[in-house]
Structure 1
Amino acid sequence: MTSLAFQAPAGPTASATVEIAGSGLAELTCAWLLVARGHQVRLRPPEPAAGPRPLLLNQPTLDLLHSLWGRWPLADCHRLTHRQVCWGPGDGAIGRRLPQPATVVDGARLTERLLDRLVTRHPDILSETDGPPRWTVTAAGPSAHWTAGRRHLLAGEAPLTPGTDETTARLVCTELAWLHLTPLGSGRALLQAMIPGPATRPTELLATLLAGSALAPALRHAPRSAVALPAGPRLHRTPAVPGRILVGAGAIRYDPLSGTGTAQALRTAILAAASIHAMADGAPQEPLCTHYTTRLRRAFHAHLATCAQLYPQAFASPSWQHEIDACRWRDPLLQGDDGDR
């Protein structure tokens, strides 16, 4: 997807009434952009956070976040300077250590801070709307998705071995999975492993994968508990229809390997806000909803094409063939479409 700079005029000729049904990063960003353009935006009361959620933001994503919300110091974050990558048999057991600045933040704390910033600047955003909203923006929608594969991500935290470099994230492959180690600061790390299907015993499997990888010496022991989450790239079939726009992971989800999922969530918020603003100025709804959907479809298939190139380089086992084939699927509506990607 190309850059989605929010370049609408200074204010709409008519104000749209918008309900933001959720308090995730994409939903809050869309609210922030819309209220700044003079729209009547109302936020449903946020639900309590489910707990800490480590989030790795590369520098371009962090720059995008700051360009939207303004630059402010991130509290309780951990800075990384490098990423060490061992992808496929040609990289050997150590791989390449590359300069790649990034910041690890608690995603739940980040959205709390953005919510505070939004409510402090626009306290009426939590008030009742005057009548039903014209638009609802949310990351939670009907489960009408295309999903490219059955792969799952295993994740758990564990202590680092004393002396382990806490400024370098590490990616390695085994025959069955890729594993990513993200230092969190204070001697702890997040271990993630992508496998080509579901797992009934994620904690045991993650420990087995760690033991067979080059990451084992970096941790004092395997995570004591782990979760398994569906992680195949996913696209909602109709992310925008008159009256409702899906943003964030509810609209489009990338493979975690890309490291650009947060940036893509922010881009959906930018495009959704620009679409609503244009419709408030009198642009017809149907073409703009179609444009929104098409832009996400193009981005999704560009992402699948990248996955289809990368995974065969690392995995030759039959268990991964389904995932590779799934990434080669093409939306028939985009066949022969040479639009921006």
Structure 2
Amino acid sequence: MTGAATIEITGTGLAELACARLLLARGHRARVRLRAPEAAPRPLLLNAPTLELLRSLWGREPLADCHRLTYREVCWGPEGTGALRRLPQPAVVVDGGRLAQRLLDRLAARYPDALGDVTGAEAMAAEPAFGEAPAVRRWTVTAVGWSSGHRTAGRRHLLAGEAPLAAGQDERTARLVCTDLAWLHLTPLGGGRALLQAMVPGPVARPAELLARLLTQSALAPVLEHAPRTAVALPAAPRLHSSPAVPGRLLVGAGAIRYDPLSGTGTAQALRTAFLAADTLHAAAGGAPQRPLLTHYATRLRTAFHDHLATCARLYPQAFTSPAWRHEIDACGVAVTGNGV
């Protein structure tokens, strides 16, 4: 390596922290700029491949206060026609904010100078003197997108709310079912509570009301004591940033590429962007030309986006025949034709 990069990591999401950990281990000067923590709990369902990625970064499994799941029941297809499958699928449910704080504490313990903004002196040192090879550069890595925009494949939204499980219900099995309008996923959180999510093909004005109605139409109704009293509706269609890599800046995580939650691999894919970003910055610090590196970074994300859309275009027609889903299925189909992305 001909030089060490000076890198500001803006934010403390799992992707940003993973990138910081990888860069610091390679001798780069990385600083993590803290953002205000999220006030509300953020349950994350982490499957076995995601846990393996976390272990590869942080050593022993960096989890505490998590709820462990053993099985997943899936009934995918038009309501009442899909076959129920019970699959062994070990996973854990953990609060994303607490996990990020735990990783941040571990990072600070190992690299005491890693927290805080890049200083003025370091910023000046990052600029090569006249006549020098530009081996040392300043970069910013973040999961917060800038203004050049995104390409979004659809309008669908995810409804989410918590509710108590009915007495005697299995707290080790996650469940996925379909209605005519939505797929619903129930994730036990431990302590007799569960997260209920529903994917619907567009924006929603009153998410709690719609989530309650979808629950009554599904096989999940007996599993909960009652429907969630409150719920949120979040944009959830797959999304790719138009320019995830530009000179001096790289986007990681959901700011660069967002997956349909149906895949169940969103956290793992966010971590993989961190690995790719760290390799890109390491190569740039070693003297590799920037432009081909940035093009490679963007191309890798675009390929992953196409592959994910192709999966959605294959799965959604198997479950939904209603006109409400036609737009979403057509939007996913751009992966097959190559139009629009």
TM-score normalised by structure 2 residue count: 0.92
Deviation per CA, 1:44-87, whole angstroms, max 9, x where unpaired? 13322332100000111111111111113521101111100000
Q: Distance in 1 between matches of 2:176 and 2:336?
A: 31
Q: Which residue in 2 is equivalent to 1:280?
A: 285
Q: What amino acid sits opposite 2:32 in the alignment?
A: L
2:178 corresponds to which of 173, 182, 195: 173
Q: Does 1:112 align with 2:101?
A: yes
User: After superposition, where does 1:216-227 map in structure 2 within 5 Å?
Assistant: 216-227=221-232
Q: How does 1:322-337 map to 2 (within 5 A)?
A: 322-330=327-335
> What is the CA–CA distance in structure 2 between the aligned matches of 1:95 and 1:261, rounded to whole Å?
24
Unaligned runs of 5+ in 1: 1-11, 336-341
Pairs within 5 Å for 1:1-341:
12-72=1-61, 74-89=63-78, 92=81, 95-127=84-116, 128-129=118-119, 130-131=122-123, 134-143=138-147, 144-330=149-335
Contact preservation (8 Å) 2:37, 2:97: no
| CA distance in structure 1 between the partners assigned to 2:247 and 2:303 by the alignment | 21
Judge conservation of contact 1:94–1:214 (CA < 8 Å) in 2: no
User: After the TM superposition, which of the residue ranges 141-150 and 170-179 deviates more from structure 2?
Assistant: 141-150
CA separation of 1:181/1:312 partners in 2, compared to 1, >3 Å: closer, same or farther?
same
Cα deviations by residue, 1:67-109 (Å, 9 ceiling, x for unpaired): 1111135211011111000000387477111111111000010
The one-letter code sitting in structure 1 at the alignment partner of 2:159 is: L
- Distance, in Å, in 2 between the alignment partners of 1:236 and 1:182 is 29
**Quick one: distance in 2 between partners of 1:41 and 1:113?**
18
Cα deviation for residue 25 of structure 1 reads: 0.5
When the two chains are superposed, the root-mean-square deviation of aligned CA atoms in Å is 1.6
Q: Which moved more, 1:164-173 or 1:40-49?
A: 40-49
Q: Which amino acid aligns with 2:303?
A: R
Mapped contact 2:79–2:180 kept (Cα < 8 A)? no
Equivalent residue number for residue 8 of structure 1: none
Would you say how many aligned residue pairs link Structure 1 and Structure 2?
323
- Residue 42 (structure 1) shift: 1.1
1:173 positional shift? 0.2
Distance 1:168 1:253, change over 3 A: same
Q: Which amino acid aligns with 1:279?
A: A
* Residues in 1 aligned to 2:62 and 2:286: alpha-carbon distance in whole angstroms: 36
CA–CA distance in structure 2, aligned partners of residues 56 and 227 of structure 1: 18
SS of residue in 2 equivalent to 1:181: strand
Q: Once the two structures are aligned, what percentage of the paired residues are identical? A: 72
Relative to structure 1, the CA distance from residue 331 to residue 237 in structure 2 (aligned partners, 3 Å threshold; closer, same or farther) is farther
Deviation of the 1:330 alpha carbon: 3.9
Q: In structure 2, what is the equivalent of residue 339 of structure 1?
A: none
- For 2:17, the aligned partner's letter is L
Divergent runs of 4+, >6 A: none
Q: Secondary structure at the match of 1:126?
A: coil
1:26 to 1:73, Cα distance in 2 relative to 1, 3 A: closer
3-state SS of paired residue (1:55):
strand
In the alignment, residue 238 of structure 2 is paired with which amino acid? P
